[in-house]
């Protein structure tokens, strides 16, 4: 064999390897072709490139599904999360986030024996956010694989508040969705509530985690949150409490989860973090809490709220109690 034929032979070997990879990863058989002559070297290169494209495409399509639930604090997310946790073979990780520090508080270190990321922060290990992202990603991969082997469906309730409502601006760190996108096909669902009610409850809980703490600033952050999410993947909390059975079916389809009507009878039995709102065993609309004159003025002057109200059918004036 001449030296000039060696690259061609190597290409033939690579071509055969690519075809075998396609067969192994996709389940279909690549049609056998006649032996490619050395004079057809450019055509063989083109075919090899096409095989590589098919392999890459199939690798993307074969990523396992991961469900992510997103919502702002005080927007009814805990109730929705309990309902999902009550579905058959659904396992909920509540308020998960790779780099949030809100749970650590201030002053004395908390007892967090299995939380390695927080332990690393207490230890002042350098580049803790980078470490936390890696630990979180690996933990989710292992948990998802474990759950799938048991025949279950993993659902992550993201702590969206940490990304959009903490500090002087929106977080520049990757969100849960961005962090896991390379490993999973992300199925995402966002639930929203009229910002008037959500912001009012946020204030009552004294969760003043962002600056400046104004209703307009809150609405601007809300718009940044919903901007990358497809409209069909956004469900209003108000619609859910008005027709929980119907809306739960819709949300289950969005996340490709098994639906069962029994959730309506068992949701209140599940323990979920972030349970700061009004409790109860019945899902139904509740009257709006009394709004101060000062807050009414903020609502009337908020341009961002008008955008939200128009898009999602909320009361654009928003100053009357329901």
Residue-wise pLDDT for 133-189, tens only, equals: 999 999 999 999 999 999 999 999 999 999 999 998 887 766 899 999 999 999 999
**What is the spatial distance between Cα 242 and Cα 303, in angstroms, rounded to a whole number?**
28
Per-residue pLDDT, 320? 46
- pLDDT in the model for residue 108: 87
- Give the H or E element holding residue 298: helix 293-301
Higher pLDDT pick, 30 / 300: 300
Average pLDDT in the 84-93 region? 98
Planar angle of CA 180, 226, 185, nearest 5 degrees: 25
- Rounded Cα distance between 101 and 124, Å, is 13
Q: How far is CA 276 from CA 53, 102, 154, 242, 318, in A?
A: 49, 15, 24, 21, 23
pLDDT, tens only, 239-276: 999 999 999 999 999 999 999 999 999 999 998 987 76
Structure tokens at 300: 């009337």
Better-scored residue on pLDDT, 177 or 54: 177
Output the pLDDT for position 50. 72
Given this model, what pLDDT does residue 322 score? 38
211 C-beta neighbours (distance < 10 Å), count: 11
Cα separation, 278 vs 79, in Å, equals: 10
pLDDT, average across residues 203-230: 95
Residue entry with tokens 């609405």: 219
Average pLDDT over residues 101-123: 89
């Amino acid at each position: 064999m001449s030296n000039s034929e060696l690259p061609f032979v190597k290409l033939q070997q690579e071509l055969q390897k690519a075809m075998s990879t396609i067969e192994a990863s996709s389940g279909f058989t690549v049609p056998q072709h006649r032996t490619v002559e050395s004079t057809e070297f450019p055509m063989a290169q083109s075919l090899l490139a096409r095989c590589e494209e098919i392999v890459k495409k199939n690798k993307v399509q074969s990523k396992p599904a991961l469900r992510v639930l997103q919502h702002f604090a005080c927007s009814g997310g805990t109730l929705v999360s309990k309902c999902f946790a009550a579905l058959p073979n659904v396992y909920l990780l509540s308020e998960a986030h790779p780099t949030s520090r809100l749970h650590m508080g201030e002053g004395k270190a908390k007892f967090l024996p299995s939380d390695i990321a927080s332990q690393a922060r207490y230890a002042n290990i350098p580049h803790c956010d980078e470490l936390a992202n890696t630990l979180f990603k690996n933990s989710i991969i292992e948990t998802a694989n474990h759950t799938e082997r048991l025949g279950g469906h993993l659902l992550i309730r993201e702590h969206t508040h940490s990304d959009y409502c903490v500090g002087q601006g929106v977080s520049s760190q990757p969100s849960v969705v961005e962090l896991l996108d390379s490993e999973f096909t992300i199925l995402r669902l966002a639930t929203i509530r009229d910002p008037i009610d959500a912001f009012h409850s946020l204030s009552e809980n004294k969760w003043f985690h962002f600056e400046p703490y104004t209703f307009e600033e809150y609405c601007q952050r809300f718009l940044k949150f919903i901007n990358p999410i497809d409209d069909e993947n956004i469900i209003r909390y108000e619609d859910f409490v008005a027709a929980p059975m119907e809306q739960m079916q819709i949300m289950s389809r969005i996340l490709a989860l098994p639906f069962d009507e029994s959730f309506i009878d068992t949701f209140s039995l599940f323990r979920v973090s972030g349970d700061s709102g009004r409790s109860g065993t019945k899902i139904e609309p509740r009257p709006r809490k009394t709004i101060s004159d000062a807050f009414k003025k903020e609502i009337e002057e908020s341009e961002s709220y008008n955008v939200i109200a128009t898009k999602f059918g909320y009361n654009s004036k928003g100053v009357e109690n329901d």
